[in-house]
Amino acid sequence: MATLEDFDNLFETTLKPRLVDLDALRKKALSRILFSIPLFVLAVIGFGTPAFAPALNPAIHPAIPLAAAVLLLVAGIVVAAGASKHLKAYNARYKEEFVREIVTAINPEWTYESSNGIRKDEYRTSGLFPEHFDRYCSDDLVTGIIDKTDFRCAEVHSEKKIVTHDKNGRRQERWEDIFHGLFFHADFNKHFKGTTYVEPDFAERFLGGFGTALQRIGGKGELVKLEDIAFEKRFVVYSSDQIEARYILTPAIMEAILAIADAFQKPIRISFVQSRVYVAVDFRKKLFEPRLATTCVKLENARTVFKLFKTNEVIVRELNLNTRIWTKE
């Protein structure tokens, strides 16, 4: 398993030269996009000119600016098409030559599939986000085994469509994120009879006693109150089986969940369903896509991708999933 120091060496010797080459492709795509914008703007202006050209100057035939507008539009489309081609090549090469190399560096036995992700049925089975989604995508799937524990991890983005009407009755639509971040699940080596959910405790944190009352009526099962004060301040637990929930959430596991939350400083949700543990870290942004506006030749950006994929190790280690203190029934 590669350390951060190992990765820094890999970056300087292997990844940086590749990223310099990729950055040239990024610049080509960006320059073409920037060049196409004024072409489209001038074309729009040109299409509006024929109606006014004779009034401004009788010597100008309406067809002249119209022809110029058509030429500008065609030129803009050609340039934009070239930009799109370069951009697709840049994204594909970034994932294959950079992201894949990082996964391999962490563990050569892991599998990385840039175009595959967490299936919808896996997402639903977790029960972490039970609300209906209208749009779902997942990519950058990593699968493998850490010691004895199999896992699946990918970026997931689920959204719902919000439909409203303005004061004139006109329909308006907007998309709202349900979840956008890192989604992970692994074998817990224990078949659960019930389902247990650990969620950020926003209600009690901000509303105090009133928030506690809201918890009791707004959860996924019975509210489970635990003895760990630090854990109770940051998380709320619901379960269909109070005894099993306490059996799962030992002091060590609660401490591990707090450690994971501290490591990421992002909203974290965890569920224990059937024989697996599901973890969703909500980053609210794309995780493994290169940015077009800024260079990709940055060690800090590369380290971020490395740390995201190391999340798999962090979760397995912190939750002690390899210890096998339970057996499946």
DSSP state of 14: I
- What mean pLDDT do residues 166-185 have? 90
Query: How many Å apart are CA 182 and CA 166, to the nearest integer?
Result: 36
Confidence category of residue 283, pLDDT binned at 50, 70, 90: very high
Confidence category of residue 38, pLDDT binned at 50, 70, 90: confident
pLDDT at 210: 42
Higher pLDDT, 249 or 50: 249
| DSSP bridge pairs for 99 | none
How many of the other CB atoms lie within 10 Å of CB of 166? Answer: 8
How many of the other CB atoms lie within 10 Å of CB of 153? Answer: 24
pLDDT at 127: 94
DSSP state of 3: -
pTM for the whole structure: 0.81
Confidence category of residue 177, pLDDT binned at 50, 70, 90: very high
Flag whether pLDDT at 42 surpasses 60: yes
- What mean pLDDT do residues 7-17 have? 89
The alpha-carbon radius of gyration of the chain (Å, integer) is 26
pLDDT at 50: 53
Picking from 249, 232, 256, the residue whose alpha carbon sits closest to that of residue 315 is 256
Query: How many Å apart are CA 302 and CA 16, to the nearest integer?
Result: 9
Picking from 247, 229, 251, 228, the residue whose alpha carbon sits closest to that of residue 239 is 247
16, 200, 208, 240 from 237: Cα distances, Å = 45, 9, 16, 10
Over the stretch 296-324, which tens digit does the pLDDT of each residue have?
888 888 888 888 888 888 888 878 776 65
Confidence category of residue 262, pLDDT binned at 50, 70, 90: confident
- What mean pLDDT do residues 257-282 have? 90
Torsion angle defined by CA atoms of residues 83, 89, 91 and 96, in that order, rounded to the nearest 10 degrees: -170
Higher pLDDT, 141 or 57: 141
Flag whether pLDDT at 69 surpasses 80: no
What the block records as the tokens of 168 is 């004139």
Query: How many Å apart are CA 255 and CA 318, to the nearest integer?
Result: 8
- What mean pLDDT do residues 70-89 have? 80
Over the stretch 138-152, which tens digit does the pLDDT of each residue have?
999 999 998 888 999
- What mean pLDDT do residues 114-133 have? 95
Flag whether pLDDT at 54 surpasses 80: no
pLDDT at 146: 87
Confidence category of residue 100, pLDDT binned at 50, 70, 90: very high
Residue spans per domain, the chain: 1-106
Residue carrying structure tokens 């401490």: 255
pLDDT at 128: 95
Picking from 87, 77, 81, the residue whose alpha carbon sits closest to that of residue 28 is 87
pLDDT at 116: 95
- What mean pLDDT do residues 196-202 have? 90
Contacts of 13 (CB under 8 A, 6+ apart): none
